[in-house]
Amino acid sequence: MNNVEFLYIDDLDYSILEDPLPKGVRSILVVRETGEKDFGAYNCTVSNPYGSQVKQIFLVRQSK
């Protein structure tokens, strides 16, 4: 991903959807028209007054 930080983006390549939940918000990163540059590791970082947490996910190309 080339270390791009997403902060409430909405453009032609990516957007973030927010889904309110009873105890917080679920955020969904939408990647449109995936290309080689989109595959790889993504970090999701959350913070609140109680601390912070980081999770990493990988977007991998499916074999045909």
Quick: pLDDT tens for 13-35. Answer: 888 888 999 988 888 888 888 88
- Distance CA(57)–CA(42), nearest Å, equals 5
Give the predicted TM-score (pTM) of the model. Answer: 0.64
Taking residues 27-47, report their average pLDDT.
88
Return the domain boundaries, the chain.
14-59
Percent of residues, the chain, with pLDDT higher than 70: 83
- Distance CA(34)–CA(37), nearest Å, equals 8
